[in-house]
Amino acid sequence: MYNEEDTDIERILNQFNNAMPTMQISIEKETNKSIHFLDITIHKNHDSLSFSLYRKPTTTNTIITKDSCHPLEHKQAAIRYLVNRINIYQLDKAAK
């Protein structure tokens, strides 16, 4: 079991990064009782967790325009992905 007092996470991170110098691992740290994991943000509440979608600061929110020369399936896939993401994650109404 992980015990913050027994484990030096920075030392372990350095060991991983030294073992494979061509691949660098980073640690996402909790700030303001929340942490980003993949494309969601996990918020720690008093007695529960809540989730919202995470967008990197560099996100453009650009999808294929309807008048592009891409196949219709590609255009529909972008919309389907966004709709499925909202429906699959356990988001509260405000986050949706």
Confidence of residue 19 (pLDDT cuts 50, 70, 90): very high
pLDDT of residue 29: 86
User: How far apart (Å, rounded) are the C-alpha atoms in residues 70 and 25?
Assistant: 36
Query: Starting at the edge strand that comes first in sequence, how are the strands of the sheet with 40-44 ordered?
Result: 34-37, 40-44, 49-53
Mean predicted confidence (pLDDT) in 15-27 = 91
Confidence of residue 15 (pLDDT cuts 50, 70, 90): very high
Confidence of residue 3 (pLDDT cuts 50, 70, 90): confident
- Whether 9 has a pLDDT exceeding 90, the answer reads no
